[in-house]
Structure 1
Amino acid sequence: MPQKPEPERITDVERLRAFMNPLRMQLYRLLYASGSATASQLAEHVEKTPSLVSYHLRKLAENGFVTEADDRSDDGRERWWQVASEEGWGFRESDFADSPEESAAVGAVARGIFDTRVAQFRAYLDGKSAWGQTWTDAAFSSEWLLDMTPTELAEMGEELQALSRRWRERVAAAKASGDTTGREHVSVHLYGFPFRP
């Protein structure tokens, strides 16, 4: 069985710094969800000027997170953009632990990612009634408090990644076969981290 592609593991802090600007994270997430878009289309979603959005897209492209979607441009006057990898990317904080400056930058990026996720969930909660009962009954939010070892937590994380990958493949296959009826973008956030009461 062929090896499934994994998300790119970023180990260069300069690349991660591209996401210290919250607008770039927002643009990346919009592109990931939409597949491709122009700066003008994205500017409408984020309520910024197309020139500012273009600037930030170019910065993301310089760092390898987005690329031009050449096959989308009909007349060449407007650039179409897409994420560079369908598998996405990730990082381990331990890769940046040797330098306090790098550790602080990674912490800022992680907090920015979390803030973006919280804003997205808040937007859902604020507009939940517009989705109707079928979607609100299907949506979930859970928290489990477990006593685990680091090894167990890592194993659980790997199992959740495998589960997520199976669902991504299932959805991609359904969409490729033309099954698009009733589909919406769905965001699933799971966190696993130690805490002391």
Structure 2
Amino acid sequence: MQPKPQPEQITDLSRLKAFTNPLRMQLYRLLYAAGTATASQLAEQVGQTPSLVSYHLRKLAEHGFVAEAGSRSTDGRERWWQVASEEGWGFRSSDFAGTPEGVAAVGAVTRGIHDTRVAQYRTYLDQTDAWGKAWTDAAFSSEWMLDLTPAELAEMNDELEAVARRWRERGKASRAAGATEDRERVSVYLYGFPFPL
């Protein structure tokens, strides 16, 4: 049995700091969703100049988060980009807890991720009527309040990741087989964290 692919764990502060820039986070997420794109295509989506987007893509490439996807243009002038790992990346806050700089970087990146997710969900909420009944009935937002230990929370995370990975692979296989009717990108966000009573 092959080991399950896992997101790359960032342990180097300079790599994590690459995502303290909100535009880089946004570009990475757009590129992850699109598969491949040019700086010009991404620039249109984020409302920035292609030269600024190219600069930030090169910075992400320096840290190993994106890579050139090979030329798909007919004239060879456009550079196509893709994320370096289909599994994405992650980090543990505890790996950076030893210094104020590390704590600040974790805070900035985590807030940036959260802000991006909230913006994407708000966009969906603003466009709910346009999606139609099937999608609005299928979409969900849930919250559970549980009494768990750290080990139990970690175990639950592993189980939820396995479920999400299974559905991601199912969607990719269906798209590859040509089953694209009514198939859209779907974001699923899960948070698990302690809070005092």
- What is the correspondence of 1:4-153 to structure 2 with a 5 Å cutoff? 4-153=4-153
Does residue 179 of structure 1 match 2:179? yes
Residues 13, 106 of structure 1: 8 Å contact kept: no
Amino acid at match of 2:169: E
| RMSD after superposition | 1.0
CA-to-partner distance for each residue in 1:8-49, whole Å, 9 max, x for gaps? 000011111111111111111110111101111111111111
Task: Please say which of residues 170-179 and 89-98 is displaced more in the overlay.
Answer: 170-179
Residues 38, 80 of structure 2: 8 Å contact kept: yes
Name the counterpart of 2:2: 2
Structure 2 Cα separation of the partners of residues 71 and 47 of structure 1: 24
CA-to-partner distance for each residue in 1:39-93, whole Å, 9 max, x for gaps? 1111111111111111111111111111011052332101011100101000001
Identical columns (%): 74
Residues 71, 78 of structure 2: 8 Å contact kept: no
Structure 2 Cα separation of the partners of residues 102 and 20 of structure 1: 11
Residues 8, 87 of structure 2: 8 Å contact kept: yes
TM-score (norm 1): 0.97
- Where in structure 1 are there 5+ consecutive unaligned residues? none
- Where in structure 2 are there 5+ consecutive unaligned residues? none
How many Å apart are 1:171 and its aligned residue?
1.1
Q: Secondary structure at the match of 2:82?
A: strand
- Which 4+ stretches in 1 moved above 3 angstroms? none
Residues 39, 80 of structure 1: 8 Å contact kept: yes
Structure 1 Cα separation of the partners of residues 7 and 136 of structure 2: 30
Name the counterpart of 2:189: 189
Amino acid at match of 1:138: A
Aligned length: 197
How many Å apart are 1:116 and its aligned residue?
0.5
